[in-house]
Amino acid sequence: KILILDFGSQYTQLIARRVRELGVYCEIHAYDMKEADLKALAPKGIILAGGPESVTANASPRAPEAVFTLGVPVLGVCYGMQTMAEQLGGKVQSSDQREFGYAQVQLEAETALFQDMSDHLKDGKKLLDVWMSHGDKVISLPEGFQVTASTPSCPIAAISHEEKRFFGVQFHPEVTHTLQGKRLLEHFLLEICACQALWTPAQIIEDMITRVREQVGNKKVLLGLSGGVDSSVVAALLHKAIGDQLTCVFVDHGLLRKNEGNQVMEMFADNMGVRVIRVDAAKLFLDRLKGESDPEAKRKIIGNTFIDIFDEEATKLTDVDFLAQGTIYPDVIESAAVKDGKAHVIKSHHNVGGLPETMRMELVEPLRELFKDEVRRIGVELGLPHDMVYRHPFPGPGLGVRILGEIKQDYADILREADAIFIEELRAAGWYEKTSQAFAVFLPIKSVGVVGDTRRYEWVIALRAVETIDFMTARWAHLPYELLEKVSSRIINEIPQVSRVAYDVSSKPPATIEWE
Ligand code: XMP
């Protein structure tokens, strides 16, 4: 196992993810963990991660001395390299100037870490494309160390003590912009630390099951199941771990996609034998939403109603001690800084069905440390259908934010049909996987059309399809005209209440992905 010491960088989790992608088990601990705990972990190698502080500042974080006396390989990244250099007798200089972004480092000496690596050759020197993000830099080496890479502005960009197997890189190997980052970590993990690549989805599941069982014992657990990927994976996992100790509450707000509610019940209750309480609350939601057309007010009503219903169901269940949530890493922490050994939350999730404030239950969040793609792989391994696990994201308020203005039952019904046609055609044309999110939007305006010899005066449906990596920015998907034509003609022909279909060609920013 590999130990990653966290100095508060937002990249720490990403390093962990890369390590796990390479099949090696790792644990993140705060930099100030007790030496006894560190020794008890018996890591095969240690990674000192980055951090926002300055090594030159008073009382800035340091690695425990044991890191350098255990006799295992150490890789310092960014702040981790600086503190390693400083703690072993080198010098770090602080600087107001930040070097941020793409850089080329020139390799200066043979080192096990950069074995057989080079992106470019210049004047017989090997160059690597890397991603830098730092202000301070190492200006003198500790004894026994050599410089292994440099840039014009950062002459000591990587260091090593080959004998002790201590390595430092000023750049970030964990980000994809560092082209050879994965190989660098592979060298460190598999060759230098001699770890074996055994950490597979099956192993991760075993580990999570053990931890859940330890946490909940023979007590009961409640889970809000939404049909989304994260809560579905938690349901499947907890069912496997604790069987009937798990009860799921599935609140159907009537703003789900076509057949979605039934599919959730079929998959979990019928096929897997999970105990699921379905609450059909469509009418209550519609009643409360009546007359409301402001997007934020609609979101609030949906969110609060959801919590009310969930709360009510939960109080009906006696002796439940734990509340499970499908929280995944990006939901919890956008950027974490180590303070008193704890990461603090910068951004909390705005999902429907947050934790009811009045509920005093301990949380079970088995996916808390995982990224979306890891959750998906685990979902497949747990036997969830591929199409379900790789589905586009769907907002908590559902069709509620895709019906512009006031929400009405017949609008929702029309939108569900149009959306189903769009998604079906996207899948058939092989475009579903090429887009990150695609859906139909109901516009409560009427437009004239002609069908046969008769004039039609009906509603407008807009189609939205985007490509994005992080959903913070997005490009509208350049769907083939033939595909759009087919979707449009099917929607207008099959849904008599629609007379016109439009395609949204706005990117984000300035437009958001959803229309409300
Ligand atoms: P926007 O519209 O902000 O959407 O560009 C970015 C991503 O967030 C989803 N989204 C939501 N998800 N509750 C959610 O759980 C919400 O209120 C909500 N609003 C937007 C949206 O679908 C897209 O994936």
Q: Lowest mean pLDDT: which of 14-28, 44-58, 320-334? A: 320-334
The first and second tokens of residue 324, run together, are: 């499970």
Structure confidence at residue 335 as a pLDDT band (50, 70, 90): very low
Say yes or no: CB of residue 508 within 6 Å of ligand 1: yes
| ipTM above 0.90 for this complex | yes
Residue 333 confidence class, pLDDT cut points 50, 70, 90: very low
Nearest atom within ligand 1 for CA of residue 436: 24
Give distance in angstroms: CA of 512 to centre of ligand 1. Answer: 9
- The enclosing H or E element of 221 equals strand 220-224
Catalytic positions: 78, 172, 174
pLDDT at 274: 97
Better pLDDT: 315 or 329: 315
Q: Encode 425-474 in three state secondary structure.
A: HHHHCCCCCCCCEEEEEEEEEEEEEEECCEEEEEEEEEEEEEECCCCCCE
334 vs 450, higher pLDDT: 450
Distances from the Cα of 408 to the Cα of 79, 228, 307, 415, 416, angstroms: 55, 24, 21, 11, 12
Mean pLDDT of 422-442: 98
DSSP label at 320? E
Relative to the CA of 299, which ligand 1 atom is closest? 17
Q: Residue ranges for the binding site for ATP?
A: 226-232
In the structure encoding, which two tokens stand for residue 153, read together? 């502005």
| CA-based end-to-end distance of the chain | 46
Rounded-to-integer distance, Cα 90 and Cα 158, Å: 13
Assess whether the C-beta atom of 437 lies below 6 angstroms from ligand 1: yes
Q: Using pLDDT thresholds of 50, 70 and 90, give the confidence band for residue 353.
A: very low
Strands 454-467 and 475-476: antiparallel
What is the mean predicted confidence (pLDDT) over 366-380? 90
Q: Indicate the pairing of strand 125-134 with strand 99-107.
A: antiparallel
Res 96: pLDDT: 73
Give 222-239 pLDDT, tens digit per residue.
Answer: 999 998 999 999 999 999
Whether the Cβ atoms of residue 331 and residue 361 lie closer than 8 Å to each other: no
More confident: 374 or 487: 487
Q: Mean of the pLDDT values across residues 383-392?
A: 94
* SS3 category, 300: helix
Span from the CA of 514 to the centroid of ligand 1 (angstroms): 6
Instruction: With CA atoms as reference, report the closest residue to 64 among 91, 94, 41.
Output: 41
Phi, psi of 222 (to 5 degrees): -110, 140
Ligand 1 mean position, distance from CA 348 (Å): 13
| Secondary-structure percent of the chain, ordered helix, strand, coil, rounded to 5 | 35, 25, 40
pLDDT category of residue 357 using cuts at 50, 70 and 90: low
Question: Whose CA is closest to 185, among 52, 42, 16?
Answer: 16
Residue 256: pLDDT band (50, 70, 90) is very high
Q: Using a 6 Å cutoff on CB, does residue 312 contact ligand 1?
A: no
> Across residues 342-360, what is the average pLDDT?
43
Half-sphere CA count of 203, side-chain side, radius 13 A: 10
State whether residue 274 is helix, strand or coil. coil
Which pTM was predicted? Answer: 0.77
Q: Could you tell me the domains of the chain?
A: 2-192 (3.40.50.880), 201-389 (3.40.50.620), 402-503 (3.30.300.10)
Name the token pair of 145: 């160390």
C-beta of 126 in contact with ligand 1 (< 6 A): no
pLDDT value, residue 348: 33
User: Pairing relation of β-strands 146-151 and 125-134?
Assistant: unpaired
| Pocket flag, ligand 1, residue 396 (CB < 6 Å) | yes
Which of 363-377, 416-430, 436-450, 488-502 is least confident? 363-377
Residues 6+ apart with CB under 8 A from 452: none
Q: What is the pLDDT of residue 471?
A: 85
46 Cα to the center of ligand 1, angstroms: 38
Query: What is the number of the ligand 1 atom nearest to the C-alpha of 512?
Result: 5
The residue among 161, 3, 148 whose CA lies nearest residue 89 is: 161
290-313 average pLDDT score:
94
pLDDT, residue 332, reads 60
User: 127-176 pLDDT, tens per residue?
Assistant: 999 999 888 999 999 999 999 999 998 999 999 999 999 999 999 999 98
Cα dihedral 379, 385, 388, 391 sign = positive
pLDDT of residue 209: 97
Q: Average per-residue pLDDT in the chain?
A: 91
Q: Six-digit token pair at 501? A: 């279909």
Of the candidates 225, 232, 228, 263, which has an alpha carbon nearest to the alpha carbon of residue 384? 232
Q: What is the rounded CA–CA span in Å between residue 386 and residue 389?
A: 5
* pLDDT score for 359: 57
